[in-house]
Chain A
Amino acid sequence: DAGITQSPRYKITETGRQVTLMCHQTWSHSYMFWYRQDLGHGLRLIYYSAAADITDKGEVPDGYVVSRSKTENFPLTLESATRSQTSVYFCASSERGQGYEEQYFGPGTRLTVT
């Protein structure tokens, strides 16, 4: 399907486990982003990527790892999940990084860490 997809949509994991959230876009957009949404904080940027093999930290990167070996994929890994990482995670993409482009968001992944 065209667009931006995330998997899984829902995930429950235990503290200390590694979990990977997947993001895939079909537009060949250069830029991709990971945000987390928490009540009282809105959406906060975790990591972003300007192109394959180029990634950079956002506002709240601690505890997360990203990679981008292919333009269309941008997985987010929690190496050792903590309860504070319970959140809704959104992936987004945009064509370029000029500041004015609309970002297209995936449907979100609701992650619960027990």
Chain B
Amino acid sequence: AQKVTQAQTEISVVEKEDVTLDCVYETRDTTYYLFWYKQPPSGELVFLIRRNSFDEQNEISGRYSWNFQKSTSSFNFTITASQVVDSAVYFCALSEGAGGGNKLTFGTGTQLKVEL
């Protein structure tokens, strides 16, 4: 069975600090996909990034970066120079490969609070 663990329930930082959100996953599949979603206080779920199991390149998008390491089954998310608008719940999720029906297994989420 697939499992996603986000051990950090809540993180508080002061604006402009860097923060890393951890995600550890378990799967028996060799082909799988990892996702990060953001849930701001308004409640909607916003897609941030997708990674497939064959692509271990790190990715940077503005202040956001993602570090995917198959050796440790981790897909961590770093926000550089955090801002108050980054305050949200962040979910890591895992999807099986083709034939899996695109079902997502979510972690329990990390609540990020960025304060002035």
Residues of the A chain whose Cβ atoms lie less than 8 Å from the Cβ of B107: 42
Q: How far is the CB of A50 from chain B (nearest CB, A)?
A: 6
Residues of the A chain whose Cβ atoms lie less than 8 Å from the Cβ of B47: 102-104
Contact with B along A88-102 (1 / 0, CB 8 A): 101010101111111
CB-based nearest B residue for A88: B43
CB-based nearest A residue for B104: A103
Q: Say yes or no for A44: interface residue by CB 8 A criterion.
A: yes
| Cα distance A104–B35 in the bound complex, in angstroms | 13
Residues of the B chain whose Cβ atoms lie less than 8 Å from the Cβ of A59: 105
Number of contacting residues on A, CB 8 A? 30
Q: Out of A35, A58, A92, A100, which one reaches B52, CB within 8 Å?
A: A100
Q: Out of A33, A96, A102, A105, which one reaches B103, CB within 8 Å?
A: A33
Residues of the A chain whose Cβ atoms lie less than 8 Å from the Cβ of B31: 99
CB-based nearest B residue for A108: B43
Q: How far is the CB of A38 from chain B (nearest CB, A)?
A: 9
Q: How far is the CB of A99 from chain B (nearest CB, A)?
A: 5
- CB within 8 Å for A99 and B108 given contacts A48-B103, A88-B43: no
Q: Say yes or no for B14: interface residue by CB 8 A criterion.
A: no
- CB within 8 Å for A99 and B109 given contacts A31-B102, A107-B44: no
- CB distance A31 to B101 under 8 Å? yes
Q: Say yes or no for B11: interface residue by CB 8 A criterion.
A: no
CB-based nearest B residue for A31: B102
- CB distance B102 to A99 under 8 Å? yes
Q: How far is the CB of A76 from chain B (nearest CB, A)?
A: 16
Residues of the A chain whose Cβ atoms lie less than 8 Å from the Cβ of B44: 105, 107-108
Q: Which of B56-64, B65-73, B92-100 contacts A (4 or more CB under 8 A)?
A: B92-100
Residues of the B chain whose Cβ atoms lie less than 8 Å from the Cβ of A58: 103
Q: Out of B98, B104, B109, which one reaches A98, CB within 8 Å?
A: B98
Q: Say yes or no for B75: interface residue by CB 8 A criterion.
A: no
- CB distance B106 to A99 under 8 Å? no
13 contacts between A and B (CB under 8 A): A41-B108, A43-B91, A48-B101, A96-B102, A97-B99, A99-B95, A99-B96, A100-B50, A102-B47, A104-B47, A105-B44, A108-B43, A108-B44
